[in-house]
């Protein structure tokens, strides 16, 4: 079978959910037996989002092979229950750097290097990829039609649709249908203008997906079909939902996946197997209990900064038939006097990843509170390092214990740099990244949580490590190194004795949690938090606040 290509573009406004639409389509097609992959093309000139502030672009998602990528790749993995790689996220920065490097090496034989054909050829090369086993490749293009920076991508799609041949390429255009409450009308004009803009660049949309807060009528479908040159059945409604995991089923009811397969002349005989997915939705919507998890971080005003953690809590809560309500706590607001105010009603405390020294003291106070009050605690990456610093200060009585990240000249750096990191000047792509092996201590809680596996693999994204000089002191005082990298001796997990649950992990377990396969660490954390304090579930309009 000749490989098929789906291109997902957006118009009118950003943040309409191209990533969710792409992931939903991929999940539906995979459930029919097709081999699917999804890639994201981002028009910004960073090489990758690794050096971006989370407030700029949300969470940075990390793949098994150590690529720092757009958060949409997290959606792809969670929906498809399969891993992505560095080839699944391409930026303009990477494209232009490759072309410029090639020019310096003389690859273009003296030709004048231009956007067309050199930039567009490099984009097409990345879209087509190397030889791979996939039947259908879905490519999401970041930004919106009309943005000057995405023009090379739009031109590349135009060329590819022509080169791939009839029925081998398909364009899905996602737009907004605004609802004017004063008149009670859904307006189609912004979508018409967006499609016209796309056509001015030589691309005819094959399918329209319309984001809307109200159901669209048959008349509106027909109007859009008439003015946008698509079939009425190719106008798909994407209505606002309480949870993103409803979207694949809502799209399937409108034959979205069938329309795509029919365009490609591919079989639709095999119906999608959505049994596990629907079971997840049923359990999610009918929890028995509710818990409140305090998420302590410094980027809490933008929830997308912790997107994978949020979704991992959803997966774990659903598996346990528990509704997880997140209490967002800015670490900079915490002090000795307001601890009870913030933590008196919570079931567990999670200290989130982060960088820099802002809000560190509040995180240390949070870890101390969880340790002393015997509250379930999970520290992720920086969260583990915070737990180590707090323990050193208040149990080992090393009052000057610090991290070299916040004080390069610390007298007692319980968190420090590996030797090979000390001479690094370039910040982008130089942290410990991707899948690393971890040996678990038999008899520990984490050993039990992972099903008594002696070795696990988890993804990393950090530069600073536990300082093994202090390892014996911590172990003797009751904080044990229960996870060790067998190749480097680096500490991967620290667990506190005589506590209901107090675990810090250097890795990022949230990256591996999916709808079908919730991560065991989050599953256990939610379960033990429920045992500490839970409530009868009270349905509210917003599921996770």
Two structure tokens written together for 497: 């004795």
pTM for this one? 0.93
So what's the pLDDT on residue 424?
75
Q: Could you confirm whether 508 is annotated as catalytic?
A: yes
So what's the pLDDT on residue 232?
95
Query: Boundaries of CATH 3.40.50.880 in the chain?
Result: 287-408+464-536
Distance of CA 197 to the CA centre of its chain: 30
372 CB-near residues (< 8 Å, 6+ apart) = none
φ, ψ of residue 292 to 5 degrees: the values are: -125, 115
Two structure tokens written together for 525: 């954390």
Q: Tell me: pLDDT of 289 over 70.
A: yes
Radius of gyration over every alpha carbon of the chain, rounded to an integer in angstroms? 25
Report the alpha-carbon distance of residue 226 to residue 232 in Å, rounded: 8
Distance of CA 96 to the CA centre of its chain: 25
Q: Tell me: pLDDT of 541 over 50.
A: no
So what's the pLDDT on residue 496?
96
- Tokens 């992505």 -> residue: 84
313-372 confidence digits (pLDDT tens): 999 999 999 999 999 999 999 998 899 999 999 999 999 998 877 889 999 999 999 999
Task: Provide the β-strand partners of residue 479.
Answer: 496
CATH fold for domain 4-278: Rossmann fold (3.40.50)
Catalytic member of 57, 315, 508, 519: 508
CA-based nearest residue to 119, from 147, 82, 90: 90
Catalytic member of 77, 210, 510, 519: 510
Q: Could you confirm whether 442 is annotated as catalytic?
A: no
Secondary structure (DSSP) of 142-153: -S-TT-GGGHHH
So what's the pLDDT on residue 149?
93
Task: Provide the β-strand partners of residue 432.
Answer: 462
Taking a C-beta distance cutoff of 8 angstroms, is the pair 202, 160 a contact?
A: no
Two structure tokens written together for 475: 């172990």
- What stretches of 266-381 show up as alpha helix (H) in DSSP? 275-285, 307-319, 339-343, 360-373
Query: Boundaries of CATH 3.40.50.300 in the chain?
Result: 4-278
229-258 confidence digits (pLDDT tens): 999 999 999 999 989 999 999 999 999 999
So what's the pLDDT on residue 515?
96
The terminus-to-terminus CA distance of the chain in angstroms comes to 46
Angle made by CA atoms 104, 105, 108, in degrees to the nearest 5: 85
Q: Tell me: pLDDT of 57 over 90.
A: no
| Beta-sheet pairing, 235-239 with 179-180 | unpaired
Two structure tokens written together for 293: 């998890």
Cα 110 to Cα 103, 114, 115, 480, 494, distances in angstroms: 8, 12, 16, 62, 57
CA dihedral in degrees (189, 190, 191, 193; nearest 10)? 90
Task: Provide the β-strand partners of residue 460.
Answer: 434
3-class SS at 404? coil
Percent of the chain at pLDDT exceeding 70: 98
Report the alpha-carbon distance of residue 473 to residue 392 in Å, rounded: 9
Angle made by CA atoms 277, 127, 140, in degrees to the nearest 5: 45
So what's the pLDDT on residue 545?
45
- Give the number of other Cβ atoms within 10 Å of residue 539's Cβ: 10
475-508 confidence digits (pLDDT tens): 999 999 999 999 999 999 999 999 999 999 999 9
Taking a C-beta distance cutoff of 8 angstroms, is the pair 342, 370 a contact?
A: no
404-447 confidence digits (pLDDT tens): 988 889 999 999 987 777 777 777 777 889 999 999 999 999 99
Q: Which CATH architecture has domain 287-408+464-536?
A: 3-Layer(aba) Sandwich (3.40)
Question: Mean pLDDT, the chain, as a whole number?
Answer: 93
* Angle between helix 382-394 and helix 360-373 axes, rounded to 10 deg: 70
The tally of CA atoms less than 13 A away on the side-chain side of residue 64 is 10
Report the alpha-carbon distance of residue 476 to residue 278 in Å, rounded: 49
Report the alpha-carbon distance of residue 161 to residue 110 in Å, rounded: 29
343 CB-near residues (< 8 Å, 6+ apart) = 294, 349, 366, 369, 373, 375
Phi and psi based region of residue 397 (left: phi greater than 0; alpha: psi -120 to 50; beta: remaining): left
- Residue 538 pLDDT grade (very low, low, confident, very high; cuts 50, 70, 90): low
So what's the pLDDT on residue 539?
65
Distance of CA 363 to the CA centre of its chain: 23
392 CB-near residues (< 8 Å, 6+ apart) = 398, 401, 412, 414, 470, 474
Two structure tokens written together for 271: 């119906």
Q: Tell me: pLDDT of 102 over 70.
A: yes
Q: Is the dihedral of CA 431, 434, 436, 441 positive or negative?
A: positive
Q: Tell me: pLDDT of 540 over 70.
A: no
282 CB-near residues (< 8 Å, 6+ apart) = none
Catalytic member of 381, 436, 460, 519: 381
Q: Tell me: pLDDT of 226 over 50.
A: yes
Angle made by CA atoms 148, 153, 154, in degrees to the nearest 5: 80
Task: Provide the β-strand partners of residue 467.
Answer: none
Q: Could you confirm whether 510 is annotated as catalytic?
A: yes
| Beta-sheet pairing, 401-403 with 412-417 | parallel
């Amino acid at each position: 079978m000749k490989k098929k290509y789906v291109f997902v573009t957006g118009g009118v406004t950003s943040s309409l959910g191209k990533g969710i639409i792409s992931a939903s389509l991929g999940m539906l097609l995979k459930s029919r037996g097709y081999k699917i992959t999804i890639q994201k093309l981002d028009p910004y000139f960073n090489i990758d989002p690794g050096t971006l502030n989370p407030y700029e672009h949300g969470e940075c998602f990390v793949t098994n092979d150590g690529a720092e990528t757009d958060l949409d790749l997290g959606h792809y993995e969670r929906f498809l229950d399969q891993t992505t790689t560095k080839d699944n996220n391409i930026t303009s920065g990477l494209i232009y750097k490759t072309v410029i490097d090639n020019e310096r090496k003389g690859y273009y034989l003296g030709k004048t290097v231009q956007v067309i054909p050199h930039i567009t050829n490099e984009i097409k090369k990345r879209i087509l990829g190397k030889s791979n086993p996939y039947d259908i490749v879905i490519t999401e293009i970041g930004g919106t039609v009309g943005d000057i920076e995405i023009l090379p991508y739009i031109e590349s799609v135009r060329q590819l649709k022509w080169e791939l041949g009839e029925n081998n390429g398909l364009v899905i255009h996602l737009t907004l249908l605004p609802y004017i409450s004063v008149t009670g009308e859904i307006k189609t004009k912004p979508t018409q203008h967006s499609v016209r803009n796309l056509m001015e660049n030589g691309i005819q949309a094959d399918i329209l997906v319309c984001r809307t807060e109200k159901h669209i009528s048959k008349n509106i479908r027909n109007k859009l079909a008439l003015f946008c040159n698509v079939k009425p059945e190719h106008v798909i409604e994407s209505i606002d939902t309480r949870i993103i995991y409803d979207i694949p089923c809502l799209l399937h009811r409108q034959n979205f996946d069938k329309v795509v397969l029919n365009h490609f002349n591919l079989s639709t005989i095999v119906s999608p197997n959505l049994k596990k997915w629907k079971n997840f939705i049923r359990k999610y919507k009918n929890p028995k209990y509710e818990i409140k998890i305090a998420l302590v971080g410094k980027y809490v005003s933008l929830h997308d900064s912790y997107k994978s953690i949020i979704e991992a809590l959803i997966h774990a809560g659903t598996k346990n038939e528990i509704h997880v309500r997140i209490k967002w706590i800015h670490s900079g607001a915490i002090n000795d006097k307001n601890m009870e105010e913030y933590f008196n009603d919570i079931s567990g405390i999670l200290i989130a990843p982060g960088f820099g020294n802002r809000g560190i003291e509040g995180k240390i106070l949070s870890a101390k509170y969880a340790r002393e009050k015997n509250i379930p605690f999970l520290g992720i990456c920086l969260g583990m390092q915070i737990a180590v610093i707090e323990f050193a200060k208040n149990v080992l009585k090393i009052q000057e214990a610090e991290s070299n990240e916040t004080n390069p000249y610390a007298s007692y750096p319980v968190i420090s740099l590996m030797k090979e990191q000390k001479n690094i000047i370039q910040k982008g792509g130089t942290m410990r990244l991707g899948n690393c092996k971890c040996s678990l201590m038999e008899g520990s809680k984490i050993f039990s949580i992972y099903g008594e596996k002696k070795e696990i693999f988890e993804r990393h994204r950090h530069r600073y490590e536990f300082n093994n000089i202090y390892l014996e002191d911590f172990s003797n005082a009751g904080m044990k190194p229960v996870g060790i990298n067998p190749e480097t001796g680096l500490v991967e997990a620290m667990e506190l004795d005589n506590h209901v649950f107090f675990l810090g992990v250097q890795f990022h377990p949230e990256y591996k949690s999916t709808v079908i396969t919730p991560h065991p660490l989050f599953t256990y954390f939610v379960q033990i938090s429920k045992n500490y304090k839970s409530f009868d579930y009270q349905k509210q309009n917003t599921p996770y606040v």
